[in-house]
Protein backbone atom coordinates (compact mmCIF):
# COMPACT_ATOMS: atom_id res chain seq x y z
CA UNK A 1 0.00 0.00 0.00
CA UNK A 2 1.30 3.43 -0.88
CA UNK A 3 1.00 5.94 1.95
CA UNK A 4 1.76 9.65 2.21
CA UNK A 5 2.65 12.15 4.93
CA UNK A 6 2.09 15.82 4.10
CA UNK A 7 4.62 18.38 5.37
CA UNK A 8 3.52 21.98 4.82
CA UNK A 9 3.89 25.56 5.99
CA UNK A 10 0.91 27.53 7.31
CA UNK A 11 -0.29 31.12 7.34
CA UNK A 12 -2.97 33.05 9.23
CA UNK A 13 -5.39 32.50 6.33
CA UNK A 14 -7.51 29.50 7.35
CA UNK A 15 -9.10 28.93 3.95
CA UNK A 16 -5.76 29.22 2.15
CA UNK A 17 -4.26 26.64 4.52
CA UNK A 18 -7.10 24.21 3.93
CA UNK A 19 -7.04 24.72 0.17
CA UNK A 20 -3.29 24.10 0.17
CA UNK A 21 -3.72 20.92 2.22
CA UNK A 22 -6.35 19.69 -0.22
CA UNK A 23 -4.02 20.39 -3.14
CA UNK A 24 -1.21 18.44 -1.52
CA UNK A 25 -3.58 15.53 -0.80
CA UNK A 26 -4.57 15.52 -4.48
CA UNK A 27 -0.89 15.42 -5.38
CA UNK A 28 -0.36 12.41 -3.10
CA UNK A 29 -3.36 10.59 -4.54
CA UNK A 30 -2.17 11.27 -8.08
CA UNK A 31 1.04 9.47 -7.13
CA UNK A 32 -0.87 6.44 -5.92
CA UNK A 33 -1.33 7.08 -2.19
CA UNK A 34 -4.25 5.22 -0.62
CA UNK A 35 -3.70 6.69 2.87
CA UNK A 36 -2.73 10.34 3.43
CA UNK A 37 -1.72 11.84 6.79
CA UNK A 38 -1.89 15.59 7.38
CA UNK A 39 0.07 17.41 10.09
CA UNK A 40 -1.28 18.50 13.47
CA UNK A 41 -3.73 21.45 13.39
CA UNK A 42 -3.19 21.86 9.66
CA UNK A 43 -6.04 24.35 9.31
CA UNK A 44 -4.30 27.21 11.15
CA UNK A 45 -1.07 28.53 12.54
CA UNK A 46 0.11 26.78 15.70
CA UNK A 47 -1.84 29.06 18.04
CA UNK A 48 -0.62 27.54 21.33
CA UNK A 49 2.41 29.83 21.55
CA UNK A 50 0.27 32.15 23.71
CA UNK A 51 -2.87 31.92 25.86
CA UNK A 52 -5.70 33.87 24.23
CA UNK A 53 -9.41 33.20 24.78
CA UNK A 54 -10.32 34.64 21.37
CA UNK A 55 -8.53 31.69 19.74
CA UNK A 56 -11.35 29.40 20.82
CA UNK A 57 -13.30 30.92 17.92
CA UNK A 58 -11.14 28.74 15.64
CA UNK A 59 -12.62 25.53 17.05
CA UNK A 60 -15.28 23.61 15.13
CA UNK A 61 -17.59 20.71 15.69
CA UNK A 62 -16.96 17.16 14.49
CA UNK A 63 -18.73 16.38 12.21
CA UNK A 64 -18.46 19.91 10.85
CA UNK A 65 -17.17 22.01 7.95
CA UNK A 66 -13.68 20.54 7.78
CA UNK A 67 -14.73 16.92 8.09
CA UNK A 68 -17.32 17.54 5.37
CA UNK A 69 -14.68 19.02 3.07
CA UNK A 70 -12.13 16.29 3.78
CA UNK A 71 -14.80 13.64 3.39
CA UNK A 72 -15.83 14.95 -0.01
CA UNK A 73 -12.21 14.85 -1.16
CA UNK A 74 -11.67 11.34 0.24
CA UNK A 75 -14.72 10.12 -1.67
CA UNK A 76 -13.71 11.89 -4.88
CA UNK A 77 -10.19 10.43 -4.79
CA UNK A 78 -11.12 7.05 -3.27
CA UNK A 79 -8.54 7.33 -0.48
CA UNK A 80 -8.40 7.47 3.32
CA UNK A 81 -7.48 10.89 4.74
CA UNK A 82 -6.31 11.59 8.30
CA UNK A 83 -6.79 15.20 9.38
CA UNK A 84 -6.16 17.11 12.62
CA UNK A 85 -8.63 19.66 13.98
CA UNK A 86 -9.31 21.97 16.91
CA UNK A 87 -12.56 20.41 18.09
CA UNK A 88 -15.37 22.15 19.94
CA UNK A 89 -17.03 19.25 21.72
CA UNK A 90 -19.28 21.47 23.83
CA UNK A 91 -19.27 25.01 25.15
CA UNK A 92 -16.07 25.33 27.17
CA UNK A 93 -14.85 21.85 26.17
CA UNK A 94 -12.26 21.61 23.42
CA UNK A 95 -9.94 18.91 22.10
CA UNK A 96 -6.98 18.44 19.79
CA UNK A 97 -8.58 15.79 17.61
CA UNK A 98 -7.46 13.61 14.71
CA UNK A 99 -10.17 12.59 12.26
CA UNK A 100 -10.26 9.73 9.76
CA UNK A 101 -12.26 10.03 6.55
CA UNK A 102 -12.98 6.78 4.75
CA UNK A 103 -12.87 6.20 0.97
CA UNK A 104 -16.62 6.67 0.75
CA UNK A 105 -16.39 10.05 2.47
CA UNK A 106 -17.76 8.88 5.81
CA UNK A 107 -16.20 9.73 9.16
CA UNK A 108 -14.55 6.45 10.17
CA UNK A 109 -13.57 7.66 13.63
CA UNK A 110 -11.77 10.23 15.76
CA UNK A 111 -8.92 10.23 18.26
CA UNK A 112 -8.62 12.94 20.92
CA UNK A 113 -5.05 13.72 21.96
CA UNK A 114 -4.38 12.11 25.33
CA UNK A 115 -1.13 13.73 26.50
CA UNK A 116 -1.32 17.53 26.61
CA UNK A 117 1.92 19.53 27.02
CA UNK A 118 2.37 22.82 28.83
CA UNK A 119 5.78 24.27 28.04
CA UNK A 120 7.07 27.68 26.94
CA UNK A 121 5.64 28.23 23.46
CA UNK A 122 3.45 25.10 23.71
CA UNK A 123 0.63 26.17 26.07
CA UNK A 124 -1.75 23.41 25.04
CA UNK A 125 -3.32 22.79 28.45
CA UNK A 126 -4.98 26.20 28.13
CA UNK A 127 -6.82 25.05 24.99
CA UNK A 128 -7.21 21.28 25.03
CA UNK A 129 -8.91 18.81 27.33
CA UNK A 130 -7.24 15.36 27.22
CA UNK A 131 -9.10 12.58 25.48
CA UNK A 132 -11.20 10.32 27.67
CA UNK A 133 -9.33 7.34 29.13
CA UNK A 134 -12.42 5.29 28.38
CA UNK A 135 -14.84 6.17 25.60
CA UNK A 136 -18.62 6.02 26.03
CA UNK A 137 -18.81 2.57 24.48
CA UNK A 138 -16.32 1.18 26.99
CA UNK A 139 -13.29 1.23 24.69
CA UNK A 140 -9.93 2.55 25.77
CA UNK A 141 -8.96 6.01 24.60
CA UNK A 142 -6.10 4.22 22.83
CA UNK A 143 -8.25 2.33 20.32
CA UNK A 144 -7.32 1.98 16.62
CA UNK A 145 -9.77 3.17 13.98
CA UNK A 146 -10.96 0.53 11.53
CA UNK A 147 -10.64 1.55 7.87
CA UNK A 148 -10.51 -0.08 4.45
CA UNK A 149 -6.69 0.21 4.51
CA UNK A 150 -6.19 -1.24 7.98
CA UNK A 151 -6.54 -0.41 11.66
CA UNK A 152 -5.00 3.00 12.23
CA UNK A 153 -3.29 3.61 15.59
CA UNK A 154 -3.67 7.38 15.72
CA UNK A 155 -1.67 9.38 18.26
CA UNK A 156 -0.98 13.13 18.22
CA UNK A 157 2.33 14.99 18.73
CA UNK A 158 3.12 14.91 22.50
CA UNK A 159 1.66 11.37 22.53
CA UNK A 160 4.63 10.35 20.40
CA UNK A 161 7.01 10.45 23.38
CA UNK A 162 5.07 7.83 25.37
CA UNK A 163 5.81 4.14 24.72
CA UNK A 164 2.68 3.23 26.68
CA UNK A 165 0.47 4.91 24.08
CA UNK A 166 2.06 3.10 21.14
CA UNK A 167 1.97 -0.22 23.00
CA UNK A 168 -1.71 0.09 23.86
CA UNK A 169 -2.52 0.82 20.22
CA UNK A 170 -0.51 -2.23 19.17
CA UNK A 171 -2.21 -4.42 21.78
CA UNK A 172 -5.58 -3.27 20.43
CA UNK A 173 -4.63 -4.48 16.95
CA UNK A 174 -3.25 -1.41 15.17
CA UNK A 175 -1.69 -2.11 11.76
CA UNK A 176 0.11 1.23 11.59
CA UNK A 177 1.05 4.03 13.99
CA UNK A 178 0.34 7.56 12.78
CA UNK A 179 1.56 10.79 14.39
CA UNK A 180 0.29 14.17 13.13
CA UNK A 181 2.72 16.64 14.68
CA UNK A 182 3.64 20.29 15.24
CA UNK A 183 7.09 20.49 16.83
CA UNK A 184 10.09 22.69 16.33
CA UNK A 185 13.03 24.58 17.76
CA UNK A 186 13.45 27.65 19.86
CA UNK A 187 15.82 29.51 17.55
CA UNK A 188 17.85 30.77 20.53
CA UNK A 189 18.98 27.22 21.32
CA UNK A 190 22.48 26.31 20.22
CA UNK A 191 22.78 24.18 17.09
CA UNK A 192 24.03 21.14 19.01
CA UNK A 193 20.98 21.28 21.28
CA UNK A 194 18.67 21.60 18.31
CA UNK A 195 20.23 18.53 16.73
CA UNK A 196 19.87 16.53 19.97
CA UNK A 197 16.19 17.41 20.15
CA UNK A 198 15.57 16.42 16.55
CA UNK A 199 17.50 13.16 16.91
CA UNK A 200 15.57 12.27 20.07
CA UNK A 201 12.24 12.95 18.34
CA UNK A 202 13.09 10.73 15.38
CA UNK A 203 14.59 7.98 17.54
CA UNK A 204 11.66 7.67 19.96
CA UNK A 205 9.15 7.22 17.17
CA UNK A 206 11.27 4.74 15.25
CA UNK A 207 11.60 2.85 18.55
CA UNK A 208 7.81 2.64 18.85
CA UNK A 209 7.73 0.98 15.45
CA UNK A 210 10.48 -1.45 16.43
CA UNK A 211 9.04 -2.31 19.86
CA UNK A 212 5.65 -3.09 18.34
CA UNK A 213 6.63 -4.43 14.93
CA UNK A 214 4.60 -1.77 13.11
CA UNK A 215 5.14 0.81 10.36
CA UNK A 216 5.10 4.46 11.52
CA UNK A 217 3.94 7.58 9.66
CA UNK A 218 4.89 11.03 11.00
CA UNK A 219 3.70 14.33 9.48
CA UNK A 220 5.25 17.50 10.94
CA UNK A 221 4.90 21.09 9.79
CA UNK A 222 7.82 23.23 8.63
CA UNK A 223 8.61 26.94 8.47
CA UNK A 224 8.87 29.70 11.07
CA UNK A 225 5.78 30.91 12.94
CA UNK A 226 6.23 34.05 15.02
CA UNK A 227 4.64 34.33 18.43
CA UNK A 228 1.73 36.80 18.56
CA UNK A 229 3.18 38.18 21.80
CA UNK A 230 6.71 39.19 20.73
CA UNK A 231 9.51 38.56 18.26
CA UNK A 232 10.05 34.98 19.41
CA UNK A 233 8.50 32.00 17.69
CA UNK A 234 8.97 28.40 16.64
CA UNK A 235 11.04 27.11 13.76
CA UNK A 236 9.13 23.94 12.95
CA UNK A 237 11.70 21.34 12.05
CA UNK A 238 9.87 19.27 9.43
CA UNK A 239 11.69 15.94 9.03
CA UNK A 240 8.43 14.07 8.50
CA UNK A 241 9.15 10.41 7.90
CA UNK A 242 7.78 6.97 7.21
CA UNK A 243 9.50 3.88 8.58
CA UNK A 244 8.92 0.14 8.58
CA UNK A 245 8.42 -2.28 11.48
CA UNK A 246 12.16 -2.55 12.16
CA UNK A 247 12.54 1.22 12.23
CA UNK A 248 13.97 1.30 8.72
CA UNK A 249 13.45 4.61 6.92
CA UNK A 250 11.20 4.28 3.89
CA UNK A 251 11.05 8.03 3.27
CA UNK A 252 12.18 11.19 5.09
CA UNK A 253 11.67 14.89 4.44
CA UNK A 254 14.14 17.67 5.18
CA UNK A 255 13.85 20.44 7.78
CA UNK A 256 12.81 23.34 5.61
CA UNK A 257 10.66 22.45 2.63
CA UNK A 258 7.08 21.44 2.03
CA UNK A 259 6.87 17.90 0.77
CA UNK A 260 4.47 15.15 -0.18
CA UNK A 261 6.31 12.23 1.38
CA UNK A 262 5.47 8.87 -0.21
CA UNK A 263 6.39 5.29 0.62
CA UNK A 264 5.17 1.79 -0.10
CA UNK A 265 4.29 -0.08 3.10
CA UNK A 266 3.90 -3.87 3.20
CA UNK A 267 1.63 -4.69 6.12
CA UNK A 268 2.58 -8.37 5.86
CA UNK A 269 6.08 -7.44 7.00
CA UNK A 270 4.73 -6.89 10.49
CA UNK A 271 3.76 -10.55 10.61
CA UNK A 272 7.22 -11.61 9.48
CA UNK A 273 9.03 -9.28 11.88
CA UNK A 274 6.91 -10.30 14.85
CA UNK A 275 7.75 -13.95 14.19
CA UNK A 276 11.48 -13.32 14.62
CA UNK A 277 11.13 -10.61 17.29
CA UNK A 278 8.12 -11.80 19.34
CA UNK A 279 8.04 -8.99 21.89
CA UNK A 280 4.33 -9.41 22.54
CA UNK A 281 4.84 -13.09 23.35
CA UNK A 282 7.56 -12.41 25.91
CA UNK A 283 6.01 -9.50 27.74
CA UNK A 284 5.88 -10.10 31.52
CA UNK A 285 2.37 -8.79 32.04
CA UNK A 286 2.40 -10.32 35.53
CA UNK A 287 5.24 -7.99 36.55
CA UNK A 288 4.10 -4.62 35.25
CA UNK A 289 1.68 -3.50 37.95
CA UNK A 290 3.85 -0.51 38.87
CA UNK A 291 3.26 0.99 35.42
CA UNK A 292 -0.08 2.10 36.81
CA UNK A 293 1.68 4.32 39.34
CA UNK A 294 2.86 7.89 38.80
CA UNK A 295 6.22 7.03 40.35
CA UNK A 296 7.74 4.26 42.47
CA UNK A 297 8.63 5.90 45.79
Q: Of 234, 217, 201, 34, nearest to 119 (Cα)?
A: 234
Average pLDDT over residues 87-93: 97
Cα separation, 73 vs 93, whole angstroms: 28
- The CATH superfamily assigned to 2-292 is Carbon-nitrogen hydrolase (3.60.110.10)
Nearest-Å Rg of the Cα atoms of the chain is: 18
- Name the pLDDT band for 55 (thresholds 50, 70, 90): very high
Which pLDDT value is given to residue 39? Answer: 98
Which pLDDT value is given to residue 106? Answer: 98
Does the pLDDT of residue 132 top 90, yes or no? yes
Any idea which residues carry the catalytic annotation?
A: 40, 113, 157
Which pLDDT value is given to residue 134? Answer: 85
Which pLDDT value is given to residue 2? Answer: 98
**β-bridge pairing 176-181 and 249-252:** unpaired
Average pLDDT over residues 20-30: 98
* DSSP letters for the chain: -EEEEEE----S-HHHHHHHHHHHHHHHHHTT-SEEEPPTTTTS--GGGS--GGGGGG-B-SSSHHHHHHHHHHHHHT-EEEEEEEEEEETTEEEEEEEEE-TTS-EEEEEE-----EETTEEGGGT-PPPPSB-TTS-BSS--EEETTEEEEE--GGGGG-HHHHHHHHHTT-SEEEEEE--EE-TTS-HHHHHHHHHHHHHHHHHHHHHHT--EEEEE-EEEEE-SSSS-EEEEE---EEE-TTS-EEEE--SSS-EEEEEE--THHHHHHHHHS-HHHH--GGG-GGGGSS---
Among residues of the chain, what percentage have pLDDT more than 70? 100
- Mean confidence (pLDDT) of the chain: 96
Which pLDDT value is given to residue 135? Answer: 75
Q: Which residues contact 288 (CB under 8 A, 6 or more apart)?
A: none
Average pLDDT over residues 44-50: 97
Q: Of 262, 46, 34, 44, nearest to 152 (Cα)?
A: 34
- Name the pLDDT band for 123 (thresholds 50, 70, 90): very high
Which pLDDT value is given to residue 82? Answer: 98
CB 21 within 8 A of CB 66: no
CA triple 285-288-293, angle to 5 deg: 145
- Name the pLDDT band for 297 (thresholds 50, 70, 90): confident
Amino acid sequence: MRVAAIQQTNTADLQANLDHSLSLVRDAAAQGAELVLLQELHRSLYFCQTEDTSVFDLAETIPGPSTETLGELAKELGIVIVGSLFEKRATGLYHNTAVVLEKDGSLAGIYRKMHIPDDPGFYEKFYFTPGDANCNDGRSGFTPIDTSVGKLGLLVCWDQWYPEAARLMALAGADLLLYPTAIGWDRTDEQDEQQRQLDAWITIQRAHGIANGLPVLVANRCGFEQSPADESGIQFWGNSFICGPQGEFLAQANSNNEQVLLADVDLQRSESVRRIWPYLRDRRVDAYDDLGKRFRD
